[in-house]
Amino acid sequence: MTRKVSVDKVGTTVLELSEVTFRRGETRILHGVDLRIARGEHWVLIGPNGAGKSTILSFASAQVFPTSGTVDILGDRMGRVELQALRRHIGHVNPRHPLRSNLSVREVVLTGLTGTIERPLRWEPSPNEISRADDLIAEVGLSARADAGWKVLSQGERGRALVARALIAEPQLLLFDEPTTGLDVAAREQLLETIDSLSVTSPELTTLLVTHHLEEIPESTSHAMLISHGRLTAAGEIAEVLSTDQVSAAFEHPIDVGFADGRWSARAIRQRVAAV
């Protein structure tokens, strides 16, 4: 029997995985993952393709149950809580947002209140909800595009609109699934600035961003975890995790990790060929 989510009792731990494994058929995707994320922390999850990043994100979004182990989100354990109620407190920014109609930016943001992709029939937002949507649209720098249709937006504008959509429901946990996918450099930097601003505008909000590019890590990121072959190889404060040795081990390739002016970088270490 499941019960309704009791967000009021949430302490400092927002997400906790304990001895989590996950299988798909005969294939083991995750192997005994332990992870704890606290309120107000900003995490990045990094690893090569197929390492298990998306699976961990699916746990954090209360979409998938582990094969074994436990997943606690916002103080409640999956399997013992009403999932739909829990998901209302989790925001999710996915650049592959499957919207088919040509909703305006304002309408897209308002769907964050209904938890739907399309605007529900016979649903009308209140004046206060419209005002809140416009405030968030301004916050992400899209006031001039509030009435523009989804189909004419650039990929970067869509990304910022989706951040506002996630924020309108006032989530306690906000997930970013490779949010800069398909963006040019300028659009990427605009989106990263928007994400960075959350640490000021929503100081208690906890974020988890998935990427496999160190250059796409926002400056406000406080913690990092590396995953390889379904195992967390390192997790903790970002400066301790993103070392050349640990990143190279996770990607199984010699990678030189750099850090300057608040941003991370990575480049392959060229192997010198001895002269014959």
Domain layout of the chain by residue ranges: 13-89+172-187+203-276, 100-170
pLDDT of residue 85: 87
The helix or strand, by DSSP H or E, that contains position 223, with its residue range, turns out to be: strand 223-228
Contact 149, 104 (CB under 8 A): yes
Q: Which of 47, 72, 263, 87 is nearest to 175 (CA)?
A: 87
- The CATH superfamily label for domain 13-89+172-187+203-276 reads P-loop containing nucleotide triphosphate hydrolases (3.40.50.300)
pTM over 0.85: yes
Tell me which residue of 161, 172, 175 sits closest to 133, measured CA to CA: 161
The pLDDT tens digits of the residues spanning 238-274 come to 999 999 999 999 999 999 999 999 999 999 988 765 5
pLDDT at 275: 55
Q: What is the pLDDT of residue 162?
A: 96
Residues of the chain with pLDDT under 50: 1-10
